[in-house]
Structure 1
Amino acid sequence: MAERITDEQVEALQNILRSDASVDAKVAQVTAVKTGIKHHNVPDTCVAQLFEALRTASSNQHGVLANAGLTSLNHLLTRLSRQEPKYIIRETKTTLPLLVDRMGDQKEKFRSLAVQSIATMYKVVPADVERHVRNFAMAGKNSKAKEASMQWLLQMHREQGLQFRTYVPRLMELLEDADPSVRDTAKTTVIELFRDAPGTAKADLKKQLENFRVRPAIKQAIVKELVPRSTTPAPDESGPADLPRPASRPNLAASVSSMSTFSDRPITPMPDTRAETVEPSYLNTTRELDDMFTQMHGYFDGRESEHNWMLREQSINKLRRLMAGNAVSDYHDPFLAGLRSLLDGIIKAITSLRTSLSKEGCALVQDIAINYGSGMDPMVELLMQTFVKVSAATKKIASQQANVCIDTIIGRVTYTNRIMQHVAGACTDKNVQPRLYATEWLKTLLKKEAHHKSHVEHNGGLDLIEKSIKKGLNDANPGVREKMRSTFWTFYGIWPTRAEALMDTLEPTTQKALERDPNNPNAPKKVEPVVRPGLGLSRSTMGAKPSLRETMMAQKKALATKNLPTMGTTPKRTVAKARPAHKPTATVLEEKPVNEDAANLVARQNGDGPAEPDISPDKARQHARLIESALTKIKAMSLDVHGFRKLQGILRDNKAPLSDEKFEALLLGLFDYLEDPQSNLTPEKVQDVKAQNLATIKLLLKKYRDHFQPHISKGLESLMSARAVYDARTHIVSGLELLADELVSLGDAQEIATVLTRRMTDTPVDKASGWRSLSMGLHVLKEMVDAKAEYVPTDQELGSMAALCTRCLESSESGVRMDAVQLCVALQGRVGDARFWDVMKDVKDDPKSLITYYIVKRQREKEAANGVV
């Protein structure tokens, strides 16, 4: 067992560290002292000298000696924290700066030892340790020290319950650090610190992210990770169930099967008016919910204008996202109360002449009906009045959206006589569209109340239903009459006696039309006329033209019963098929009938045909290994052209999609590889590698388009960096620009404008690489402004882009100046003369004249185009 440390041993250690002895001798002496520290208490008389000696060893340039010194110092701090903490307090002033400095060492082992030592000192002198970490390690210029300090912060929070509130501003700054690894570490640290924090802390974090203007991609990643875990499954979005027919009535299959013979004209499908799905968003506190509704009330005050319509649309979309998140499950009543208070604003959105805003308003009402059902009863009266008016609008999309909304409301809320009065009023509207829609609204109401007939009968609703059906059956429009016949037979299934009495009051022609309706459960089965053979092709001797469905079913049955020869049978001569005398023999050049392969097509669609073989487990594991190998080479910037092509083949053929982590690693690796100059290859080979890199990114974009959203800004920055190496005449530049245009169409306009403008502001204008990057960035911003018709830049965004244009207009490179002019023209077209020239007031006269020339030119081209049309 090791002996206890003595004053002579410590003095000898100090002497050998100051001498020119070999490193091995010094390390041996330090190791001997460390062994004594581990097994015995340290004498009080040699504590100060021991600290000084170990600090000297820890700061030595030789790694072996520094490692021995830091290890020994760590053991000394641990020993004294249990033996006599006052000695640590005395040595804090000289020991702590050394350890903070070692937190930024290039070697991971030294950084870990420094973090451990500082964690031990925190138990004794927490205030001093926090001050040094926050003000020196986190705020310094050493990226390794920043990462280590965040590692220490997370460790102390978990082990010692450290309150991290004072560190949040520093962490927000580190989220925007120039070093990508620091940004990633800061993002991970923030997520882990706030993962179990209360809702108020998470709400404050969102505000801090906004105040420090953290880039949207990082902000979205943090918020997404901190969503509440207690979410309920989405309610069933299907409409009310169809009413089952009584068993005593005959099946409708026979009458329905003959519907295809009613008309040879194909049915025009109604445009899809279902609400688009939205990404869920989450609330953390009721206070956050109240603040949000208070802010939204300001957006909906007064009339709609150029300044508030976008804010209104964003507010409606935010409400939908919250409903898709945890608003309904965790804040059911407060959220519904907020929606009711905002009802006037929602109605303003619905009646807006801007299609996108109106569409969002209608989608919000559908979501409310689906999620709250009868909870929205107090809102129904005003909404029904609004939607019935909108259903008569001449704008097709608005009319169809109102139709879907009313149908959803009727199928979800509690029945009242006022709802029936609105439907009856629509049946007598002067416009055709409400009358046509009202037939379906009435059918939905009948199906919903089929098992609660007393609700309708006791409030006079049944009389209104009969009057509405009778009015529809005698309507001047044939489409309304046809739709109301179907509604009549639904009514017949619920109140057969009242339906028969109603039918008796109709004119004979109307009664016959009702009896022939396909929805009539008592309609007689139609008998096909028998064809008399040998009388030619006259129309009188031929049966009705078979429908497409009947033709496909007949051919499918023929294929099923056909006996195909097997390999074991003897080949036989094919006997000529007998043909009728009236049908000529087919010529060689005769075209196949349109439905020749219809049976095969139907079989494949129904799953009866041969299924495409699934990938085997061995093949899947092989693909996974190859993708992992390619990913490793991409990170090492060493994947060649053939490797890229092989990776593309695997991505095309692989049946199992990439996991989120694998996709993100692969895509970010490709973007980093695209930025790398590849100086070890010839220029021709570099272009080939980058071309294959672009092809791989485009393949990922095609297969995983929905996963690209968080990485759009990173991709555009990588494309700008890659563009810096190539002249505009190089063929790869067109590929870079095409990919940039596709990414712009997917990205968020505000995020793209902010990220690219910030990047280009720091790009030098006096170098060729800077010119090329600026040209690319200006082109992307111009395309973004042109492509995003709904995007209107804020004053800050417009000012930043104007400052960028002003700087680029003074460039010595003509291409950069021209791209800046094109961006100016696009901005003027979007924000108008007043705002544009206000922010461009500092531009010199020559560039200003050039911009004016192109603005006038574009306006004349638009006028000429409108004149041609």
Structure 2
Amino acid sequence: MGSDRSELPLNRAFVAVLLTFVISLNPPKFFIYTATAVSLYVLLVVIKFEAQISMSTMEPKAAELLATLRNHNVSVETKIAHLTSVKSDIKQKNVPEGAVPSIFESLRLSIASQHFSVLAAGFSTLGHFLKRLFIQEQHDLVSAQARHLYPLLLERLGDHKERVRTQAAQAFTDLWPAANAEVEHYVLELALAGKNPRARETSMIWLCNMTKSHGLLFRAYVPRLVACLEDADSAVRDTAKTTVVELFQNAPPRAKSDLKKQLAANNVRKSITNAILSNLGLGSPDQELPTSRPASRAGNLHQRPASRAETLHRRPVSRAENLHQRPASAMSSRTQHHGEVSKEADTQPEPESVHTTRPLSSRADRSQPDVAECNATNDTSSAPSVYTGVSPENIEIVPLNVEITKEIDDIVNHILHEYDGRETEENWQRVRNA
């Protein structure tokens, strides 16, 4: 015992002398080396040991949370407290793979809860939980476990509370990097074409946001968007109109041309179509539809032969009225008194209405200047009747906006189709007889 006690002061003295010697050599380096050694020891030994302890305790903690949420006799405050505790651990520490299924199931139960506070806590925990799993590069694990959440999130997209719908849409956004195909199926196929109008509205907003922030390709979902423009719910129609304008605002010309065809194919009401096209800088669709202009010109062609024939029958009466300015009763009285007609024929030019009842020899006796005068009068009097009161000054020519060359080809082909086979005399004869 005495020898041990004598060696202890010696050892301490030796250490003190050694430290004094080292410090005397280079004091700054000594302190630097000492601080580095302590830091590495804390990082490599202490923190790793604590992380292992926390990960080992997270699995039973997740199981305890799941049991608490399944127990209907537990108060809402207790459930929220357990969710908050697990969320705090997720934000600070890694999540062991064994605790992932229990946490996913706990979040599903919390999101399905009828209590808004539990539901909100579940959505908040889900966001941090997915971020942690993506940091740990466990995308496959998220894709496999999230399949149990999709039906519930789809139902929440149509919730009567706007905040719940927004949180459900955000949950789909957080899940999209791990399973984009499944997320798009539930949101843009099931929700957008579903029966719930609020779900349709939220899915369109989600599509617009995902296109801007994540580069989602929306071309495949344009027919569903156009169909929503004629939805029975006014809010869905307004959201669809806003979404279409935002999506196609910077779209290429060909995409805008396809949109116009979709609007025409779905018979979207004119007010909505005009609003969309005007916001996209495409003008009014009435100016760009090739079907209206050839149809009106074809209608004029149908009317011209008949109007000319009617004009020929009306020419004698119009000339008689222009020359004599007599009422029809005066002409009828002339036919009853032949003596007065002969006297009037010697002194005044004879109207053509009388010529039709006289023999051909009397027509041959007429002088050539009278015939020229008759033709000139007939030409001037018949011109307004051919066009039925439409003058070229009253016609407004509107420019036609064309985005791509294929659209020009479609317009020309449509015009050729309208006039195909109408250049023969047989077709004109059928028009006259119609």
Fold equivalence (TM over 0.5): yes
Partners of 2:134 and 2:213 lie apart in 1 by: 16
Structure 1 residues 50 and 173: CA distance shift in structure 2, 3 A: same
Instruction: From 42, 45, 55, give the equivalent of 2:95.
Output: 42
Structure 1 residues 300 and 121: CA distance shift in structure 2, 3 A: same
Kindly indicate whether residue 188 of structure 2 is the aligned counterpart of residue 134 of structure 1: yes
Instruction: From 279, 282, 285, give the equivalent of 1:225.
Output: 279
Q: Secondary structure at the match of 1:6?
A: helix
**Structure 1 residues 360-439: aligned runs within 5 Å:** none
Instruction: From 69, 78, 85, give the equivalent of 1:17.
Output: 69
Report if aligned partners of 1:174, 1:182 keep a CA contact under 8 Å in 2: yes
The answer for the alignment partner of 2:83 in structure 1 is 30
Partners of 1:228 and 1:210 lie apart in 2 by: 14
Q: Secondary structure at the match of 1:205?
A: helix
Instruction: From 190, 193, 199, give the equivalent of 2:244.
Output: 190
Counterpart of 1:53, as a letter, is: S
The answer for the alignment partner of 1:282 in structure 2 is 401
Report if aligned partners of 1:74, 1:113 keep a CA contact under 8 Å in 2: no
Structure 2 residues without counterparts, runs of 5 or longer: 1-50, 284-389, 424-433
Counterpart of 1:136, as a letter, is: L
Structure 1 residues 42 and 282: CA distance shift in structure 2, 3 A: farther
The answer for the alignment partner of 2:60 in structure 1 is 8
**Structure 1 residues 452-471: aligned runs within 5 Å:** none
Instruction: From 58, 77, 99, give the equivalent of 2:111.
Output: 58
Cα deviation for residue 54 of structure 1 reads 0.8
Partners of 1:284 and 1:71 lie apart in 2 by: 47
Counterpart of 2:170, as a letter, is: Q
Counterpart of 2:218, as a letter, is: F
Report if aligned partners of 1:102, 1:114 keep a CA contact under 8 Å in 2: yes
Counterpart of 2:132, as a letter, is: R
Deviant stretches of 4+, over 3 Å = 2-5, 271-281, 300-304
Report if aligned partners of 1:77, 1:117 keep a CA contact under 8 Å in 2: no
**Structure 1 residues 545-560: aligned runs within 5 Å:** none
Counterpart of 1:16, as a letter, is: T
Cα deviation for residue 292 of structure 1 reads 1.0
Structure 1 residues 130 and 25: CA distance shift in structure 2, 3 A: same
The answer for the alignment partner of 2:5 in structure 1 is none
**Structure 1 residues 570-585: aligned runs within 5 Å:** none
Size of the alignment, in residue pairs? Answer: 264
Report if aligned partners of 1:146, 1:182 keep a CA contact under 8 Å in 2: yes
The answer for the alignment partner of 2:171 in structure 1 is 117
Q: Secondary structure at the match of 1:104?
A: coil
Partners of 1:279 and 1:176 lie apart in 2 by: 29
Cα deviation for residue 287 of structure 1 reads 0.9
Partners of 2:67 and 2:146 lie apart in 1 by: 23
Cα deviation for residue 281 of structure 1 reads 5.4
Counterpart of 1:118, as a letter, is: F
Instruction: From 391, 413, 423, give the equivalent of 1:294.
Output: 413
The answer for the alignment partner of 1:72 in structure 2 is 125
Report if aligned partners of 1:100, 1:133 keep a CA contact under 8 Å in 2: yes
Partners of 2:95 and 2:67 lie apart in 1 by: 19
Partners of 1:188 and 1:90 lie apart in 2 by: 35
Report if aligned partners of 2:104, 2:146 keep a CA contact under 8 Å in 1: no
Partners of 1:89 and 1:73 lie apart in 2 by: 14
Structure 1 residues 290 and 57: CA distance shift in structure 2, 3 A: same
Partners of 2:398 and 2:86 lie apart in 1 by: 61
**Structure 1 residues 208-607: aligned runs within 5 Å:** 208-227=262-281, 274=393, 282-301=401-420
Instruction: From 197, 204, 207, give the equivalent of 1:150.
Output: 204
Report if aligned partners of 1:81, 1:120 keep a CA contact under 8 Å in 2: no
Kindly indicate whether residue 297 of structure 2 is the aligned counterpart of residue 178 of structure 1: no
The answer for the alignment partner of 1:167 in structure 2 is 221
The answer for the alignment partner of 2:326 in structure 1 is none
Question: Greater CA deviation, 76-85 or 114-123?
Answer: 76-85
Cα deviation for residue 298 of structure 1 reads 2.5
The answer for the alignment partner of 1:670 in structure 2 is none
Cα deviation for residue 120 of structure 1 reads 1.8
Q: 1:731-784: per-residue Cα shift (whole Å, max 9, x none)?
A: xxxxxxxxxxxxxxxxxxxxxxxxxxxxxxxxxxxxxxxxxxxxxxxxxxxxxx
Counterpart of 1:10, as a letter, is: A
TM-score, with normalisation over the residues of structure 2?
0.57
Q: 1:130-166: per-residue Cα shift (whole Å, max 9, x none)?
A: 1112332111111111111111111121122211122
Partners of 2:82 and 2:148 lie apart in 1 by: 23
Cα deviation for residue 82 of structure 1 reads 2.8
Counterpart of 2:101, as a letter, is: A
Structure 1 residues 281 and 55: CA distance shift in structure 2, 3 A: farther
Partners of 1:160 and 1:91 lie apart in 2 by: 23
Cα deviation for residue 278 of structure 1 reads 6.8
Instruction: From 81, 91, 94, give the equivalent of 2:145.
Output: 91
Partners of 1:44 and 1:165 lie apart in 2 by: 38
Report if aligned partners of 2:107, 2:126 keep a CA contact under 8 Å in 1: yes
Report if aligned partners of 2:112, 2:152 keep a CA contact under 8 Å in 1: yes
Q: 1:290-333: per-residue Cα shift (whole Å, max 9, x none)?
A: 211221222344659xxxxxxxxxxxxxxxxxxxxxxxxxxxxx
TM-score, with normalisation over the residues of structure 1?
0.29
**Structure 1 residues 732-747: aligned runs within 5 Å:** none
Structure 1 residues 216 and 125: CA distance shift in structure 2, 3 A: same
Report if aligned partners of 1:138, 1:146 keep a CA contact under 8 Å in 2: yes
Partners of 2:397 and 2:222 lie apart in 1 by: 30
Report if aligned partners of 2:188, 2:207 keep a CA contact under 8 Å in 1: no
Cα deviation for residue 90 of structure 1 reads 1.0
Cα deviation for residue 38 of structure 1 reads 2.3
Cα deviation for residue 282 of structure 1 reads 2.8
**Cα RMSD over matched residues?**
2.7
User: Highest relative contact order (Cα 8 Å, sep 6+), 1 or 2?
Assistant: 2
Report if aligned partners of 1:55, 1:73 keep a CA contact under 8 Å in 2: no
Partners of 2:397 and 2:273 lie apart in 1 by: 18
Counterpart of 2:403, as a letter, is: N
Partners of 1:136 and 1:280 lie apart in 2 by: 42
Q: Secondary structure at the match of 1:163?
A: coil
**Structure 1 residues 632-781: aligned runs within 5 Å:** none
User: Radius of gyration: which is bigger?
Assistant: 2
Cα deviation for residue 121 of structure 1 reads 1.4
Report if aligned partners of 1:70, 1:110 keep a CA contact under 8 Å in 2: no
Counterpart of 1:289, as a letter, is: I
Q: Name the one with the larger helix percent.
A: 2
Partners of 1:67 and 1:204 lie apart in 2 by: 42
Q: 1:503-523: per-residue Cα shift (whole Å, max 9, x none)?
A: xxxxxxxxxxxxxxxxxxxxx
Q: Secondary structure at the match of 1:290?
A: helix
Q: 1:74-114: per-residue Cα shift (whole Å, max 9, x none)?
A: 22122222321111111132112211211111112211111
Partners of 2:397 and 2:128 lie apart in 1 by: 55
